[in-house]
Structures are given as C-alpha cells and as structure tokens.
Structure 1
Amino acid sequence: MPIHPSAIIAPGARIADGATIGPFCTVGPDVSLADGVELVSHVAVDGHTELGEGVRVFPFATIGLAPQDLKYKGEPTRCIIGARTLVREGATIHRGSVGGVGVTTIGPDCMIMATAHVGHDSTLARNVILANDVMLGGHVTIGDTVFVGGGTAIHQFVRIGRHAVIGGMSGVEADVIPYGSAMGNRARHIGLNLIGLKRRGYSRPQIHALRALFRLLFREPGIFADRLVIAAERFAGDAQVAEVLAFIAAPTKRGLCKAGRDPITEEEDEAAGG
C-alpha cells in the first residue's frame, strides 16, 4: 500500500491494500478508500466518506468536508463517490446535511472537472460530467449521462433529467427535462440533446417522437396541463415520452424551465442528419 511519508492518515481510516496516497494528503478517521483509489497529492478527504474502486482525485481537491450550511453542527453525515470517478484539481464535494438526505452521492464513471463544486445532499447518477467551474447548490439531483457546461450555476433543489445537456455559463434555477437541452441566464429549454441521443444509439423514430413531444409541450398554444394530457394520449406506449412526462409530474421545489428560442428548423435538422 504505497502511502507517501508526508501524508497524514488518521487512526481508524480504512485504506485498501491497492490504494495509493500521494504527498501531503490528509485522510480522516471515518474515511474508506477502496482498491485502486489514487489520491495524487495535496488532497483532503474527511467525514464519513467512501471512495469506490478506481477513483482518482487530483491535487487540491477536497471531498467529504463539512457542508456550507449554517445549521450544520457536526452531525455524522456522509459522502459517497462511485467507482472510477475522476475528481480533478481544486474540486470541492461536501458531505450531506441533517436538513437534507444526509448524504452527498456521486455515481460511478463521473468526471468532476477542475474547481467544480458539488454542494451538500446533491445526487449525481452515473456518467455525469461537470465541466470546469460548475457550481451545484445543495440538494441538486442529476440523472445518468448528463453534461453540464463550464461555469454553469445550478440552484438548490433543481433536478436535471438523464441524457440532458446544459450549455456553458448558464444559470439554472428550474428543472430540465430528460433528453433536454437548456442554456442561458436564466436557463431555458431550447430543444433536445440531439447529439447525445444519436451518440447513445437512439433511433430516428425515438428521436422524432421526443421532438414532437417537445414541440407540443413547449411550442404549442394553450394551457400546459392540457398539453400534458394530450401528450399522454398521443404518445401512449412510448417509453421515452413516458419518462419525460413522469419527470414533469414528480414533486419539485423549483418548477420547470420555460421554453427559449425557436426550435431547429426542418432544414437545419436534415443538415444535421436528424
């Protein structure tokens, strides 16, 4: 178990034989590092924190430190980082709070780029990428395979559905639907994550159904609740549409992002291979 002599490991820390701890790292007494974890150098890990197999943490990142919550009084809340996740230079990931779910969770195969911040009680699913300087307030929930562009700030309690993409330098204060694309300050739905859908093997009929749903919900006139009923009837049996409608129907503290600019024209869509 290669541990640099300058590292400080508190008694009680559980360090797998295959973990590597570089120079000037500090590891708290309630930390668990699985096999293959690498703390490159100058990393601080504290609290009741678990790092899964193959997690790599780069210099000056901090994981599991106390939440930035004035109500927090040192309770034994947790932080869990999934296998193979990368935490890049200067990123900060805080443990949960007693006012939330009590745990901050980042799933497997994520990338938290340099100087990004994951606030207390946030939950990131698998394959999430937060680009440089992304800021997540507390209690944010992000689904599978979401990309958040650099410099984006996401308000507390916002939900981001799976396979969504958030443009850089956005201010997101409301929920973004699965498969959606949002950007701006304040962020607005501007369409679907077409590139992501194609890369992940969604078929043309599946993408066209989601496009039709987006137009119905965010472009057609009328009462939004009525359009939801129409969508449920028109696209009955479509799994992706049902997922979007269930996301919208779920309880939320932030509401739904409004629509932004006009959708991609048919000519632009064809040119893009849509």
Structure 2
Amino acid sequence: MADPVTDTVRAAWAAGRAARNGWLTVADPHLVEVVAARAAGHDLLDALTLDLQHGLFDRARTADAVRAIAAHGLAPLVRLPAVDDAEVGFVLDVGAHGVIAPMVSDPATAAELVAACRYPPAGRRSFGPVRTALRAGDDPVAAADRVLVLAMIETADALERADAIAAVDGLDGLFVGPGDLGVALGLGPAQDREEPAIHDAFRRVLDACAAAGVRAGVHATRAAYAAARARDGFALVTVWSDVPALLGTLDAAAAGFTP
C-alpha cells in the first residue's frame, strides 16, 4: 500500500527541486502541529525534522510529534542522537520516514547506520512495527525499504572520506552540518557560513554525492541561505528552524515597538 507521506521528499526530487525541510528542537507537540499545519496548508515545507541530538524530545514527545507531522501530510524526519540500533528502531517504529545521523566519519559507521534501518536479511533492525502496521494493507517491511537514510558530514575525517561514505550501499545521501564542520575545520562555531573553506567542503560533498548517485542535504537557519545552497545543488535544505525563527521574531517585535 503506497503511503503518500513517505514520498513527499522524493516527490520534490522527482519534480526537479530541492525538498524544503523544517527543523524542530522545542519538544512541544502543539508547536509541532501548528508548524506542520501551517507548512502543509500553505505548501511551505516538504518535511519536518525532529532534533533528538540537540533538541529536548523524549520518546513520548517524539512519538506525538511524528504523528502530528504525518497527520498534516509532511514527511517526519529525525536527527538521531547517535548511530544506535535501539534509537533508530524506535524512531522508525513510531513512524519516522527518514533519519539523519550525526558524526558519521567513516564508511563503516555509515554501513552500521544503513543496517540499523533495514530488516534482515538486508540489515539487522528488530521487527516491531508500533505505528507502521496500524492500517489495513500496511506493509512495514516495504516501508522500511523506503526509509531515507542520511549520514551527516561534520568532521574533518568525514569530509576527507566523503567519496567513500557516499558510496556505501543503501545510503540515500550525505547531510552537511556546517556548524560542527566549521568547528572541526578550525573556523569556530557559526551557522549559515560563507567561509571559502566551507564552500569548498560543500563542493566536495556535492561531487561525492553526484559520483555515488545519491543526494546531498545541508542545514541552515535562514531561508535565503538555504535557497542559495539549493542553487548549488543540494537536494534537501533546511529553510526554517524553530529557535532562530522565534528569536528573530522577538527581535523584530522589539525593533518595531515604537510607543
């Protein structure tokens, strides 16, 4: 049974455009649903990513957030805290349609990630379809084969090995974390970076993905920066992030208040 939600990111790719991603660290199900409803209703995003590495989502709130995102027709993705079989299995069992794994610095770790996402014999995921077998006609095994598996390039070693990591069988692509990558390259912490070394890294990742026939994604906090990266060739771009957006509107409110 086809699931249209699963295919929203790939539908964007089939249409020849980058998939638009939102980023959530605030673990409030109502906020998640408000964002998902607005984004879906006005065609603003294709996916929403829950950040379990630097966000505040526990298991219960993760499950609630995945439901809210899927209910409004967007693809729920999860940035994992680490490459861990139990964590991967949990987020996929509750209905996440893709995972973004941090700090993948070598092909072996990327292969471990893929194996954690696939059922045997292709992988070693434990079978426990909490939410992926609720409806008549659901096929959790087929759904597992459609899960998006993205490895983050955030370290100097990962950048050096980008070609080999991108070529790992079953991986759907590489996702650049410019903040951590900039720290790893000695540039210090920042987002939406413009240093020449970062743009060189972007090109290296894009070339590695093109050679392997997979997609490249990138994190951002500003839509204009994300649009520029989409023009560079990135296929999944974060165009909105909750905390930077909230802070930006607070600053705008203060600047606009002139009694």
Shorter-normalised TM range: under 0.3
**Structure showing the higher helix proportion among its residues:** 2
TM, length-normalised to structure 1: 0.25
**Structure showing the higher strand proportion among its residues:** 1
TM, length-normalised to structure 2: 0.26
Larger-gyration structure (1/2): 1
